[in-house]
């Protein structure tokens, strides 16, 4: 049976949420491996908020995706052909393979996946970019100390859920902000957060005053918007805000917080960071995250959707509708 490479390409830059017109699903021949290359059959696609910003015309910390280019995405797959000395047929690997059935690679940015340590999807979540982002963002930028209060927005997502657990492991009081009663209950009952606030129904300012009476020492922000504004009003002296993302504004860009001068009042800092700047230290974080998983101190949760490449657009919308808990993944090939 002839193999076909189904690809999801960017057809038009969306205004707001992507629509059917944003995508072009087409079929190509499966690429062949040249000297020093290998071919990967993609098994799992990582569904990430950053995919939306990559669809805009301007470059960010990564180049914008060009029209008619394969949609960018981290993925895990299996090597099915190899002319590379370090990768063999049958190896499971992780890399930026894109939203397609097959990808050819020269090995740059690709790592082997140890499925004896954890199932493959975990390597896109707690042991992947999500876990690395949580680890370095909280510990290097946030610098939490035992007994301090850590607030996390987007707390039921792939990064936020890990941030809160690492804060708890380090002896901090941890408060999560998430959308919906089910997510808030999961944060407290399953992940050990001290409190969770439902931004859809709660008065954020009042809830933060209740749960952080002495102020917020570290705010790990994945959302921006009104949550960031509310947090700025509850900062403890010397607080650190970690800017990891702003998912509330990816489809509906808005102005920044008007109360940013609270940083001055609290002698606080607000720092953005990009996880790729920590590439040389990935092994350090991966080793520690794996230890916490093995001891049960850290829990990994994946929301796995099953389908094919043509299901990527709808799965991405599930992310922005907040229908997932933990890491959202699209599993291909009947996985």
Q: What is the mean pLDDT of the chain?
A: 94
More confident: 252 or 238: 238
Cβ(12)–Cβ(313) below 8 Å: no
Least confident window among 49-58, 188-197, 249-258, 295-304: 249-258
The confidence band for 61, taking pLDDT boundaries of 50, 70 and 90, is confident
Q: Is the pLDDT of residue 252 over 80?
A: no
How does DSSP classify residue 76?
E
Q: Please say whether the dihedral angle defined by the alpha carbons of residues 166, 167, 169 and 173, taken in this order, is positive or negative.
A: negative
Tokens, residue 306: 């099953």
> What are the structural domains of the chain?
4-122+301-331 (3.90.180.10), 129-276 (3.40.50.720)
pLDDT of the residue at 331: 97
Residue of 237, 149, 242 whose CA lies nearest to 197: 149
pLDDT at 249 over 90: no
pLDDT band at 83, cuts 50/70/90?
very high
Question: What tens digit of pLDDT does each residue of 119-142 get?
Answer: 999 999 999 999 999 999 999 999
Strand partners, 51: none
Structure tokens at 131: 């876990």
Of 6-10, 165-169, 222-226, 246-250, which gets the smallest average pLDDT? 246-250
DSSP 63: P
Q: Do 193 and 234 meet the contact criterion of CB atoms below 8 Å apart?
A: no
Segment among 23-32, 57-66, 309-318 with least mean pLDDT: 57-66
- Dig out the tokens for 280 from the structure: 């040389």
Name the pLDDT band for 77 (thresholds 50, 70, 90).
Answer: very high
- DSSP-derived secondary structure for 218-279: EEEESS-HHHHHHHHTTEEEEEEEEE---GGGSSS-----TTTTHHHHTT-EEEE--GGGGG
For the entire predicted model, the pTM comes to 0.94
- As given in the structure block, the two tokens for residue 87 are 């990768």
Q: Which residue has the tokens 């808005």?
A: 254
The residues facing 28 across adjacent strands are 5
Sheet (strand 173-178) strand order: 195-198, 173-178, 149-153, 216-221, 235-243, 269-272
Task: Report whether pLDDT(2) > 70.
Answer: no
Per-residue confidence (pLDDT) for residue 1, from 0 to 100:
54
CA 187, distance to chain mean position in Å, is: 17
Cβ atoms of 92 and 115 within 8 Å: the answer is yes
Distance separating alpha carbons of residues 300 and 123, to the nearest angstrom: 10
Rounded to 5 degrees, what are φ and ψ at 3? -80, 145
Is residue 333 predicted with pLDDT exceeding 90?
Answer: no
Widest CA span of the chain, in angstroms? 67
pLDDT at 253: 72
User: What confidence tier does 74 reach under pLDDT thresholds 50, 70, 90?
Assistant: very high
Task: Please give the pLDDT value at position 80.
Answer: 97
Residue length, the chain? 335
Phi-psi region of 308 (alpha: psi -120 to 50; beta: other; left: phi over 0): beta
CA–CA dist 333, 327 (Å, integer): 19
pLDDT for 251 equals 72
Model confidence pLDDT, tens digit, residues 277-319: 999 999 999 999 999 999 999 999 999 999 999 999 999 999 9
Q: For 10, what's the count of Cα atoms within 13 Å in the CB-facing half-sphere?
A: 21
Q: What pLDDT is attached to residue 132? A: 97
Please say whether the dihedral angle defined by the alpha carbons of residues 220, 133, 314 and 51, taken in this order, is positive or negative.
Answer: positive
Q: What is the pLDDT of residues 211-220, one digit of tens each?
A: 999 999 999 9
């Amino acid at each position: 049976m002839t193999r076909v490479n189904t690809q999801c390409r960017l057809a038009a830059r969306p205004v707001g949420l992507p629509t059917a017109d944003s995508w072009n699903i087409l079929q190509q021949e499966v690429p062949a491996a040249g000297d020093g290359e290998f071919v990967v059959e993609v098994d799992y696609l990582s569904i990430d908020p950053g995919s939306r910003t990559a669809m805009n015309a301007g470059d960010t910390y990564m180049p914008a995706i060009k029209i008619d280019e394969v949609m960018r995405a981290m993925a895990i797959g299996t090597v099915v052909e190899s002319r590379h000395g370090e990768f063999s047929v049958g190896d499971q690997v992780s890399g930026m393979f894109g939203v397609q059935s097959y990808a050819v690679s020269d090995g740059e940015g690709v790592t082997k996946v140890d499925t004896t340590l954890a199932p493959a999807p975990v390597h896109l979540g707690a042991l992947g970019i999500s876990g690395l982002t949580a680890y370095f963002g909280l510990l290097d930028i946030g610098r939490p100390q035992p007994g301090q209060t850590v607030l996390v927005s987007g707390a039921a997502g792939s990064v936020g859920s890990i941030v809160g657990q690492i804060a708890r492991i380090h002896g901090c009081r941890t408060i999560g902000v998430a959308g919906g009663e089910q997510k808030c209950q999961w944060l407290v009952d399953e992940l050990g957060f001290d409190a969770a606030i439902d931004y859809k129904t709660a008065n954020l300012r009042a809830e933060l005053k209740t749960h952080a009476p002495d102020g917020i020492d570290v705010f790990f922000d994945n959302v921006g918007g009104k949550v960031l504004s509310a947090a700025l009003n509850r900062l403890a002296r010397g607080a650190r805000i970690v800017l990891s993302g702003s998912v509330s504004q990816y489809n509906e860009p808005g102005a920044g917080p008007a109360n940013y001068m609270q940083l001055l009042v609290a002698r606080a800092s607000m720092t953005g960071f990009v996880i790729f700047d920590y590439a040389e230290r990935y092994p350090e974080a991966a080793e520690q995250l794996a230890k916490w998983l093995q001891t049960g101190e850290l829990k990994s949760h994946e929301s796995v959707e099953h389908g094919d490449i043509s299901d990527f657009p709808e799965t991405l919308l599930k992310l922005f509708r907040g229908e997932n808990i933990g890491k959202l993944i699209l599993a291909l090939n009947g996985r």
